[in-house]
Every structure is written in structure tokens, then in C-alpha cells.
Amino acid sequence: MVLQEIKKEFYNQAGLSEWAQPFVVKVKPNNDTLAILVHGFSSSPYIMHNLADYLASQGVDVEAVLLAGHGRNFKIFGQADAQAWHDSVEKVLQENLPHYKNIYLIGHSLGASVCVSLAADYPQVKGLISLGISVYLRGEKWIRFALPFAKRFKKRYKKSWLTHDEIEQLKKEGRRVYVPVKSVSDLYRMIDTRTKKKAKLVKTPTLIIHSRKDQVSQPKSSEFLFQQLELEDKEIYILDKNSHGLLQRTRNDYVFAKMVDFIKKHN
């Protein structure tokens, strides 16, 4: 199948920019393999487009999820919490379980944390792929120390590492430049109450990939997940990259190929 034949069907949810819409790709009727793609914290399904194209070209149906509160304005983003993020993906998983023999959960950053939790709850999932999972953030000690005070005196923080061009691009993609401090607290609630506690309960084959110089999430996040998994069928790759955006930057062809090899191995 050539890439030109791949057509995405968008859900066209109200209040979302065109680029932030969740979407589905159906490769062929009665396909037995689906990849559920889950974006990260303050991001949107936009980052999943290239991966979706590649998976579809390899015969895999795709469903790209929009996490609750994401892709919309600052107020709506802050109203969603860890439970709502989890429920967004669980709903899609439950809807698709009766229709596919092989379902793979593929999450980036926060999305990976959500997928870990769901893989623990749904052992019938065929495989879990974690990309740049967020367990230990850069500046971890300072963030955890300052967060209780920040919640009282500050409503938002800005991603200070972004360039002007990157800020404009994020706005188009429905991704947040300013993030509610309350949402950062919800992120840590997800990490502490789900990711860290449920990782050892996962019995699903797992592929883990992380950038060595990830500027958001420390590589030891993925090392933690690998060590917690009490199963033999697990792989970890720490790439010589300096970006949290494993799906959009250099060497994403290597990342994509690793994922497809993993899916083909377990189908």
C-alpha cells in the first residue's frame, strides 16, 4: 500500500483546531490489527500523523485519541484531570476490543503512562509501546518541591524552552504553550497513583524507547518501567537523540521500524 492511498477520517469535534482533531485510519475491511495512539501532556493527536501513515502503510488500522481537555482553551484544559485522561483512552479501547484480534497501545510521554495503566487492566491487549514515558521529569526534585506553593500562588507556567517559531507551530497544532499548574499536579497524580503502582502488573509484551537527552523526561523513566515489568518479553532502546519528540524529529524512521517489527512479531 502506498501512502497516497491512506485516508484519515476525522471526528471533527467542535472547538478544536483542524490540526488537533482525533482521527481513525481503516486500512481494509475486517482488519484484525489496530494501534491506539495516545499523545502526551498538553499535546494533541497532530504529533501522531506521521506514525499513523507509517503504520497504515504496513497494514495496521489506527485510532488516534484526544486526551480529555486537550486541544482546547486554557480553562477547559485545566478542568480535566488524571482520571479523565485515563477514561478518554479506556473508552476507545473498550469500543474496539470486540472488533480486533490484535490491539496495540502506543503512547508518548503522558500517553505512555496512560497506556501502562490500561495494559495492566486489560491483559488481552496484544502489546504495549512506550515512547518517552514521563515518570521522572527534568528538574524533578525542584518541581515536586515547588508544586504545592505554585498551586497556591500561580495559575500557569510557560514552556520556557520554546522558540518563537515553535510557539506559533504549537498553537496551530492545538498544543499548549501555557499550562495550568493544577494540570502539572494532575500529571504527577497519574505518575504516582497509576504508572508507578501498575507497571509491575503489566503482563503484556512491551517495547520501550527513549531519547538519551530528552529535555522533558529523564531516560531513567523508561529504565524504571523496564525494571518494573515482571515479564521476559520486553525491549528497551535509549537512542542518541536530544528531543522529547521521538515521533517528529530525526531518526523517527528507526523508531517507526522498531514499532512495526514489534507488532509483526506479536501478531
* Domain boundaries of the chain, sorted by first residue: 3-266
Can you give the pLDDT at residue 30?
Answer: 93
What are the C-alpha distances in Å from 133 to residues 14, 29, 43, 55?
A: 29, 33, 14, 20
Q: Is the pLDDT of residue 20 over 60?
A: yes
The closest alpha carbon to 63, from 74, 72, 51, 75, belongs to: 51
Q: In the predicted model, what is the mean pLDDT of residues 28-55?
A: 93
Sign of the Cα torsion 90, 93, 97, 99 reads positive
Mean pLDDT of the chain: 87
Q: Hey, which of 40-44, 88-92, 165-169, 178-182 has the most confident mean pLDDT?
A: 88-92
Q: In the predicted model, what is the mean pLDDT of residues 129-136?
A: 95
User: What is the C-alpha separation between 210 and 264, in angstroms, rounded?
Assistant: 21
Q: Are strands 206-211 and 234-239 parallel, antiparallel or unpaired?
A: parallel
Can you give the pLDDT at residue 105?
Answer: 98
Between 161 and 218, name the one with better pLDDT. 218
Can you give the pLDDT at residue 150?
Answer: 59
User: What is the C-alpha separation between 191 and 214, in angstroms, rounded?
Assistant: 18
Q: Is the pLDDT of residue 116 over 80?
A: yes
Q: In the predicted model, what is the mean pLDDT of residues 177-201?
A: 87
Can you give the pLDDT at residue 4?
Answer: 45
Task: Write out the CATH class of domain 3-266.
Answer: alpha beta
Q: Is the pLDDT of residue 114 over 50?
A: yes
At 216-240, the pLDDT tens digits run 899 999 999 999 999 999 999 999 8
Per-residue three-class SS string for the chain: CCHHHCCCEECCCCCCCHHHCCEEECCCCCCCEEEEEECCCCCCHHHHHHHHHHHHHCCCEEEEECCCCCCCCHHHHHHCCHHHHHHHHHHHHHHHHHHCCEEEEEEECHHHHHHHHHHHHCCCCCEEEEECCCCCECCHHHHHHHHHHHHHHCCEEECCCCCHHHHHHHHHCCCCCEEEHHHHHHHHHHHHHHHHHHHHHCCCCEEEEEECCCCCECCHHHHHHHHHCCCCCEEEEEECCCCCCCCCCCCHHHHHHHHHHHHHHHC
**Hey, how many other C-beta atoms are within 10 angstroms of the C-beta on 167?**
14
Q: Is the pLDDT of residue 168 over 90?
A: no
* Angle 65-33-71 from CA coordinates, rounded to 5°: 10
Can you give the pLDDT at residue 2?
Answer: 43
Spell out the residues 6+ positions from residue 111 whose beta carbon is closer than 8 angstroms to its own: 37, 38, 39, 40, 43, 65, 67, 89, 131
The closest alpha carbon to 249, from 166, 171, 174, 179, belongs to: 166
User: What is the C-alpha separation between 103 and 105, in angstroms, rounded?
Assistant: 7
pTM of the model: 0.88
Q: Hey, which of 69-73, 163-167, 263-267 has the most confident mean pLDDT?
A: 263-267
